């Protein structure tokens, strides 16, 4: 089975070219000066960074610095030499940008969607808003800012907790999704009702679209509750099929990532309203081990009753998910079972583990080898 790491330590292929970012205002002036500055930059053909939306209007994605960037060298300094040497190291290297981590392509795709939304709705704040979350001391913020500018990312909101849990801040940000390398913090976020997943870095990565955000979901214990999975684990496959046939008109309860799919659907509809359904830069996928005829109808009826559209649904009837995901090439795939996460990673897919539901009691202890 492919080896993965809780720290995004594997090298991504290729190099990211340094892009120069137009300087922003220092915020000390207002009114006519601000308008004049914008006018002058327009005349010069320059662009200013867009304003961040209000958290209550945005789809907020909180991303740990450990999954957005590769920080394994710094982590070793911290573990081997302690916090003071770690802070000294970060300050000494603050002009050296971090390399991209497993969440990097996903975040770039979010920004691509935002660019399209701003073209269609210049005044709207219904956008993705990215918050960088780190346990680091504020001293490390300079290196993170330098890295963000180096990679031409638009991330204005930081949450540097100095070792404290970020979960309370995530609630204040109205977070729709939290991605982290820390499985304990992910479980803590899920317990507080925040959609969350643990990200891993595969040894190889499939190239993903630069013009369309693709997000793939497992069904049970991800979009839906683990109700049906509990039947399967306790009584076997035949009893599971029987249960699903008897309850095909009974809606499944929601799972931890239903709200994130809803948020994606809300943004998709903004493109549909402008006649861009066939050119929508967001595409969603259901990739489930369920069988279509024997248990798929309940899943589809539940999504329809929720008012949610899924662009593509793959009912695999127990077949491996990795080959299908290799064809989809999602920026991120969510699953509650490490077996499927590892299978996806083996094929080069960035997969995220949702530690929720009955499967957590049955997951084999394979993932002890994932931490290096």
Q: What is the pLDDT of residues 209-264, one digit of tens each?
A: 999 999 999 999 999 998 887 877 777 777 788 878 888 888 999 999 999 999 99
Q: Which domains does the chain have, with CATH numbers?
A: 55-198 (3.40.50.1000), 213-360 (3.40.50.1000)
Main-chain dihedrals φ then ψ at residue 351, nearest 5 degrees: -115, 145
Is the pLDDT at 27 greater than 60, yes or no? no
Which among 7, 129, 218, 226 is annotated as catalytic? 218
Q: What percent of the chain has pLDDT over 90?
A: 60
pTM over 0.85: no
* Residue 149 pLDDT grade (very low, low, confident, very high; cuts 50, 70, 90): very high
Which tokens in the block code for residue 143?
A: 């290196």
Residue-level pLDDT at 241: 80
Main-chain dihedrals φ then ψ at residue 9, nearest 5 degrees: -100, -10
pLDDT, one tens digit per residue, over 74-97 is 889 989 999 899 889 999 999 999
| 28 catalytically annotated | no
The secondary structure element, H or E, covering residue 287 is strand 282-288
The gap from C-alpha 31 to its chain's centroid, in whole angstroms, comes to 37
Across all residues in the chain, what is the average pLDDT?
Answer: 84
CB 86 within 8 A of CB 74: yes
Q: How many CB atoms lie within 10 A of CB 39?
A: 10
User: Hey, which residues does 194 pair with through a beta bridge?
Assistant: none
Residue-level pLDDT at 13: 34
Is the pLDDT at 279 greater than 60, yes or no? yes
Taking the C-alpha atoms of residue 155 and residue 361, their distance in angstroms, rounded to an integer, is 37
CB 196 within 8 A of CB 64: no
* Residue 28 pLDDT grade (very low, low, confident, very high; cuts 50, 70, 90): very low
Average pLDDT over residues 25-43: 38
């Amino acid at each position: 089975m492919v080896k993965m790491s809780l720290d995004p330590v594997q090298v991504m292929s290729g190099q990211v070219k340094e892009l120069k970012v137009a300087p922003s205002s220092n915020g000390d002036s207002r009114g006519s000066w601000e308008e004049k500055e914008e006018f002058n930059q327009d005349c010069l053909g320059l662009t200013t960074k867009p304003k961040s939306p209000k958290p209550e209007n945005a789809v907020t994605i909180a991303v740990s610095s450990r999954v957005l960037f590769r920080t394994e060298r710094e982590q070793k300094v911290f573990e081997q030499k302690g916090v003071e040497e770690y802070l000294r190291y970060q300050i000494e290297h603050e002009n050296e940008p971090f390399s991209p981590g497993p969440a990097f392509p996903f975040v770039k795709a979010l920004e691509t969607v935002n660019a399209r939304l701003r073209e269609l709705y210049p005044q709207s704040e219904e956008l993705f808003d990215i918050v960088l979350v780190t346990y680091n001391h504020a001293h490390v913020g300079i290196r993170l800012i330098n890295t963000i500018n180096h990679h031409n990312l638009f991330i204005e909101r930081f949450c540097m907790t100095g070792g404290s849990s970020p979960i309370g801040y995530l609630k204040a940000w109205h977070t729709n999704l939290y991605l982290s390398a820390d499985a304990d913090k992910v479980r803590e976020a899920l317990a507080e009702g925040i959609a969350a997943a643990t990200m891993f870095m595969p040894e190889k990565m499939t190239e993903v679209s630069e013009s369309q955000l693709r997000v793939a979901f497992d069904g049970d214990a991800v979009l839906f509750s683990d109700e049906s999975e509990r039947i399967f684990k306790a009584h076997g496959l035949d009893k599971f099929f029987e249960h699903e046939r008897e309850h095909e008109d009974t809606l499944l309860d929601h799972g931890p990532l239903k709200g994130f799919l809803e948020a994606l659907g809300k943004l998709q509809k903004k493109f549909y309203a402008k006649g861009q359904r066939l050119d929508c830069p967001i595409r969603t996928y259901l990739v489930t081990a369920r069988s279509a005829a024997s248990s798929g109808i309940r899943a589809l009826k539940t999504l329809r009753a929720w008012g949610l559209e899924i662009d593509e649904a793959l009912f695999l009837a127990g077949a491996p998910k990795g080959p299908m995901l290799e064809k989809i090439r999602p920026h991120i795939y969510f699953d509650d079972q490490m077996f499927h996460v590892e299978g996806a990673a083996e094929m080069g897919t960035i997969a995220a583990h949702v530690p929720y539901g009955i499967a957590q009691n049955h997951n084999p202890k394979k993932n002890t080898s994932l931490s290096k």
